[in-house]
Structure 1
Amino acid sequence: MDEENQDQVIFTKAEKINLWNFLKYDLSKYKDEGKERIAWYMYDWANQSIASAAFAVLLPVFLNNIAADEAYKGSLTVPCPDVCTLQGGCPGTKYPCKACVVGEGVFQWNPKAASITPIVPKTVDFMFPVGPFEFAMKVTSLSVALQAFLYITCGPMGDYGTHRKKGLVISTVLCCICLFLYLAITKPSMYVYAGILTILMNGFYGLGTVFYNSFLPLLASEHKDYKASNGDLRLWQRIQNAMSGIGVVIGYVAGIITCVVCAMIALGLTKKDGSSFLPGFGYRIGTRAALAFCGGWFMLFSLWTFKYMREYPGKDLPAGERLIFKGWINTYRTLREIMKYPETAKFALAWFVYSDACSTLSTVGVLAGTNILCMNATQILYVVIEVHVVAIFGCYFFFWLEGHFKIPVKYVLMMLVLINVFISAWGMSGFFESSQVGMRHVWELFWPFGFFYGLLIGALHGYSRATWADLSPPGKESEFFAFYAITDKGSSWLGPLVCAEIYNKTNSICAAFFFLCGMSILGIILIFWVDHEKGMSDVGRVPEREAHMFEEVTLASIEKITVMDLPQGHVVELAEMDGKDSSGTDSPVNS
């Protein structure tokens, strides 16, 4: 093989990986080489019942409703059956009810006075008096605090001994048990129990995700073609990005299925007034049964991962140290060590900012749909399903875009966050009374909100976790992914609290979009500040000379890389392989 052909193999091998041919290859090797990667994908299939159905729809609604039912003792929790207007009221309704006017919000219909007035707020006790919406937000904040504690305490355990897989199994089982226990909540007075259960479940779910993500760089390094390439950086990145993207796509397919099934369960067991068709089975049985289904789905499909994923034992614990304290010691050391990796620190800051902006946008959008656009749970569920369908397309599209035009990953991330800027700017327009758009019509939650949010969210998570894996020092994947999760969850309290305060000051949900737009723009600036390839070199994932070579690959100009530009030892000789694996089957990067 001459030098010119060697050059082509090194660079175009990676570019020929796409999500479909990579997954097809793994499926063709499901009994041997692909078995473990498929097991990794299956965990995304399993845990999306929690992320897509439980967290996105069921739990926020359930926590808000159970607190409202307890606060109002059954009064003013029934929506008005007639179409209401600010001028005409709800003339066909003879009892007090919640009147929602599309584009204006939720009010109270007083049939005696024949008028619509603002709802008188009531509270429940949860350490101190809180309203129903505040209760749901406070539970979320506390669950994030527990996640951070568990991340620090247990996350680095995967780097020592045989704890990586064990941590994944234990945290998953505990999360599923919490979901099953929602069946025991039989009356509104148990709202505190529901809050505690949610806090525990969210903590265990997040911890399992830390252990799961830490397998990604290890599995990419185990790929046959990467081993044969003698350390081809671009190939390793593409394998990792492909695995991450496939996991996200598979997860969103599972999310669509679980959302549909949960809707059938919840709606099938619940009347329009919120009461149950099976009163003997307890309070809000439809929602609780759907949550239990999510736990069953998570447990069932995680068994595939538990069976076929290897342990990947870590290094030995240093003498004299105790594992229970190692996480806190390592976190302190990580905070010091990250100063040695400035590009990793820059990306952590960028991730802190833009992940908060993107995740909060979803919460604010659902809140606007419920309280401004008068959308019911079924309509919100339609939006969630739309987001998942579009997210699948988004993962494929941006993975293709990156590979086809050889766009550096950080520019892909910047494009994705720019979409968040667009959505936020659209929502901001609703703050101005003269505007005809900006949460004024139901269709706006489907377009542009649902469509463009779906387009960005799947690819954003896939590229973000793959980038963080690039910037994590070898041998410290669990520890650094724990820090990654802490960075994400450490910011997740900020957006909701700021947006809630903005709402309290302005009485406008649309005003919160100003904050989200600003955070998104700041995130783009911080991503641009990160030197991805230098960061990989700093942590030891690619030699400095090779990293310098890849810095020359930019959006504006893709310069030809010759064999003489590469360090000795990184020239890939594939003449003996002839594009085949040991069994004679085309590998995914050569197909």
Structure 2
Amino acid sequence: MGTDTVRADAADGPEDAEGAADRRREQRGWYFYDWACSVYSTSVLTVFLGPYLTSVAESAADADGFVHPLGIPVRAGSFFAYAVSLSVIVAVLAMPLVGAAADRTGRKKPLLAAAAYTGAAATTAMFLLGGDRYLLGGVLLVVANAAQSVATMLYNSYLPQIAPPEERDAVSSRGWAFGYAAGSLVLIANLVVYTAHDSFGLGEGAAVRICLASAGLWWGAFALIPLRRLRDRRAPAREAAVPGFRQLAATVRELRRTPLTLAFLLAYLVYNDGIQTVISQASVYGSEELDLGQSTLIVAVLLVQVLAVAGALGMGRLARTYGAKRTILGSLAAWTVILAAGYFLPAGAPAWFFVLAAGIGLVLGGSQALSRSLFSHLVPAGKEAEYFSAYELSDRGMSWLGPLLFGLTYQLTGSYRDAILSLVLFFVLGFALLARVPVRRAVEDAGNAAPGRI
């Protein structure tokens, strides 16, 4: 990791060939954080941890199917969803403080390194899960997921500093494509380990724990590349630091100065909650409701990863023609149709589950990549980390609501189909809120120049 810093306004004005080469080198390093951490989202959160932690909780459950963390009765099938919700609440408390500290000091890289390696260590420690250690699994999930949220916030805040406005849709989409490509490669290895575990002398549980821990090792190893190539920017002079949670209030006051940015965040908060819940709960739905085996789920998620690379790049091209906002709105309409179709999937029919996975893959990467690049235009200069902490609050911070609704629906009805159908609300409402945001005026109100298509 270097200690080099550059001026915050280094990208302003004419750029020589050497400066352009440095910018492209930094962009390539930035892509590799998606390559590093996306394996956690794919292998851990989407594929293995949900069904595995649910089975661990079920082995610890009483005769009525409940576990009792801190004396609270929780249906074993809801424990994973509740743990995801708790991890998001922890991240909500940490992100505004870390984001403000990053902008105030200009030292993002040390904070990014601390968050990334905390998450990687907790993920690697998931190798220790087994038996009835559901509480250990819940704690490691909370730590890893919260750390990933903080690290992703810092990582995203580099985007407006390393890419001029006309490049951001493409740069953001390439980052997501790198992440999905890494997820595909590791899932192939996971599929070999899991399906051939007997050949390796492993039990099924040991194979799952190896897959979980390998994601943490991958995350930590490849995080070294962006930490070497990304550069800290010298922070502008600021008033004295505001301690504690007063900084959170200060961030909220700052956001009120750009109400259209806040309106976009509200829309993103709603529809992204649905996206994040589908990502984290899809494998539980497939295994518990559709009676699909772990190998089928791995293949389905691998299909999502492969098609998400094409989807992210393809939607990036659509954004150049139709603008990011219209392209995102189209993806939300597609999400609504896909999720409604998921309610009617027959149990024990992997072919139809693969069709659904293909649809998810084609819209998943693009809707997330374009949301990130669109928001980067709405950030005032010098406020990148602070505003992206608010973006991550919208990305993760209200994403406890979807898992909570999913878990409560299942707890009350005993039906994962009802739980998955409840998520349609997030996409319909998110579409309506985003459609009302005048994004070009929002860019201008933030003091930025709008690209030709947005």
Pick from 189, 201, 205 the counterpart of residue 144 of structure 2.
201
Tell me the residue number matched to 1:387. 304
**How many Å apart are 1:358 and its aligned residue?**
2.1
Q: Give the C-alpha shift of residue 314 in structure 1.
A: 2.0
Distance 2:232 2:93 in 1: 24
- 1:32 Cα deviation after fit: 4.4
User: How far apart in 1 are the matches of 2:53 and 2:334?
Assistant: 30
Instruction: Choose from 401, 404, 424 the match for 2:318.
Output: 401
**Is the aligned partner of 1:139 residue 2:47?**
no
Aligned-partner residue type, residue 181 of structure 2: V
For normalisation by structure 2, the TM-score amounts to 0.89
* Deviation by residue 1:552-572 (Cα, 9 ceiling, x = unmatched): x79xxxxxxxxxxxxxxxxxx
1:123 aligns with 2:40: no
Alignment-derived partner of residue 534 in structure 1: 441
Q: Does 1:424 align with 2:339?
A: yes
Q: Greater Rg, structure 1 or structure 2?
A: 1
Residue matched to 2:176: 248
Mapped to 2, the partners of 1:126 and 1:270 lie a distance apart of 34
Matched, 1:412 2:365: no
Distance in 2 between the 1:270 and 1:499 partners? 35
The number of equivalent residue pairs is 437
Partner Cα distance (1:439, 1:356) in 2: 26
2:82 counterpart letter in structure 1: K
CA–CA separation in structure 2 for the residues paired with 1:195 and 1:513: 22
Q: Determine the C-alpha separation between the residues in 2 that align with 1:168 and 1:287.
A: 28
Q: CA RMSD, aligned part only?
A: 2.6
Aligned amino acid, residue 495 of structure 1: G
Contact in 2 for aligned 1:161/1:316 (Cα 8 Å): no
- Mapping for residues 333-412 of structure 1, pairs under 5 Å: 333-403=250-320, 406-412=321-327
More helix by share: 2
The DSSP-based 3-state class of the residue aligned with 1:472 is coil
User: Partners of 1:438 and 1:263 in 2: how far apart?
Assistant: 24
Offset at residue 533 of structure 1 (A): 0.8
* Residues 365-514 of structure 1: pairs in structure 2 closer than 5 A: 365-403=282-320, 406-428=321-343, 430=344, 441-447=349-355, 449-514=356-421
**CA distance, structure 1, for counterparts of residue 138 and residue 420 of structure 2:** 28
Task: Give per-residue Cα distances to partners, 1:8-64, cap 9 Å, x unaligned.
Answer: xxxxxxxxxxxxxxxxxx9x9997442211110111111111111111112212211
The letter for the 1-side match of 2:93 is F
Counterpart in the other structure of 1:211: 154
Identity %: 25
Q: Deviations over 1:270-304 (max 9, x none)?
A: 69xxxx9457xxx9322222222111111111111
- Alignment partner, residue 43 of structure 1: 33
Normalised to the residue count of structure 1, the TM-score between the two structures is 0.69
Assess if the C-alpha contact under 8 Å between 2:307 and 2:361 holds in 1.
yes
* Among candidates 236, 247, 253, match of residue 315 of structure 1: 236
Q: Once the 2 structures are TM-superposed, how far is the Cα of residue 336 of structure 1 from its aligned partner?
A: 2.3
Shift of 1:206: 1.2
What is the distance in 2 between the residues matched to 1:216 and 1:424? 31
**In structure 2, C-alpha distance between the alignment counterparts of 1:142 and 1:525, rounded to whole Å:** 28
Question: Among 184, 189, 208, which residue is 1:261 paired with?
Answer: 189
Contact 2:290/2:346 (CA < 8 Å) preserved in 1? no
Give the secondary-structure state (helix, strand or coil) at the position aligned to 1:284. Answer: helix
TM-superposed deviation, 1:381: 0.6
User: What pairs with 1:85-100 in structure 2 (closer than 5 Å)?
Assistant: none
User: Whole-Å Cα distance in 2 between the matches of residues 256 and 467 of structure 1?
Assistant: 26
Within 5 Å, give how 1:42-81 maps onto structure 2: 42-71=32-61
Distance 2:402 2:273 in 1: 6
What letter is aligned with 2:99?
G
Residue of structure 1 in register with 2:12 after alignment: none
Letter in 1 for 2:419: A
Residues 474-501 of structure 1 show CA distances to partners (whole Å, capped at 9, x for unaligned) of 1111001101111222321212222333
Q: Aligned-pair distance for 1:263?
A: 2.7
Please tell me the residue identity of whatever aligns with 1:148.
Answer: V
SS in 2 for 1:143: helix
Deviations 1:344-382 (A, max 9, x none): 111111011111122223445433321232101110011
Cα separation, 2, equivalents of 1:212 and 1:423: 30
Distance 1:270-1:168 versus aligned 2 partners, 3 A rule: farther
SS at match of 1:312: strand
C-alpha distance in 2 between matches for 1:220 and 1:203: 27
Which residue of the partner structure matches residue 154 of structure 1? 98
Q: Secondary structure at the match of 2:68?
A: strand
The answer to whether the Cα contact below 8 Å between 1:427 and 1:439 also exists between their aligned partners in 2 is: no
